[in-house]
Amino acid sequence: MKPVLLVIAHGSRDPRHAATVHALVRRVRSLRPDVRVETGFLDFNIPSVPAVLESLAAEGVRDVVALPLLLTRAFHAKADIPAVLRDAPPQLRIRQAEVLGPSPLLLSALERRLYEAGLTPADKSSTGVVLASAGSTDPEAIAVIADIAREWRHTGWCAVRPAFASAALPRTEDAVRELRALGCAKVAVAPYVLAPGFLPDRIARGAAEADVLAEVLGPAPEVARVLLRRYESASARSLLRVSA
């Protein structure tokens, strides 16, 4: 029997966050009806991750792949989630999957959102893009965003600049102005975030002077495919913890 896939989302007071997470999980289920997929939240929303784990153990489930619904390996992936999993019922065999990013599929999802917002492939060479992420105090996470921006630039955009809604600079509005100063005919903002909420709203405000603002990644099919790839990779790895 395949391990249960437990998608672990951060949670938010903003109801759009949970709605988007559930929409993504529904897409994952539609792609892989043979895999049981559950959702748990670290904060603000229910069910909590511990509650889901307790419920699975009570049902007699043995194998779980816990997948952080995160784009970078920052604090939640390195500390919060492992701590929660260590406190899970001892009869569960748990593997923690890698975070979703970076992945070429996520770049495809970003472009999908930009085209849905009004750009066309013909606009690429004259359009500067702000890759706007939530931000982090973790240097590794910030470096990954910068690397993604450099990689994306090589696919044909006029220029790509990283920006951050919190904890790091530049802000979205500053990156928009920089791309204008470079002479890009159009400037687009691509939120590198999974669901709406406080920080994505800050990104949107920072995009006021841009020509195009894309939607968050949300339940894009490419995101669902990355999620399933992480699940399969984790299923094939050794256990994070095996019960005695």
What is the spatial distance between Cα 196 and Cα 142, in angstroms, rounded to a whole number? 20
Q: How confident is the model at residue 115 (pLDDT cuts 50, 70, 90)?
A: very high
Convert the pLDDT of each residue in 30-79 to its tens digit. Answer: 999 999 999 999 999 999 999 999 999 999 999 999 999 999 988 778 88
**Comparing 108 with 79, which gets the higher pLDDT?**
108
Answer whether residue 167 shows pLDDT above 60: yes
Answer whether residue 226 shows pLDDT above 50: yes
What count of other Cβ atoms lies within 10 Å of the Cβ of residue 173?
Answer: 19
Question: Mean pLDDT score of the chain, rounded to an integer?
Answer: 95
Cβ(195)–Cβ(216) below 8 Å? yes
Calculate ∠ Cα 147-161-158, nearest 5°.
105
For residue 244, the model assigns a pLDDT of 31
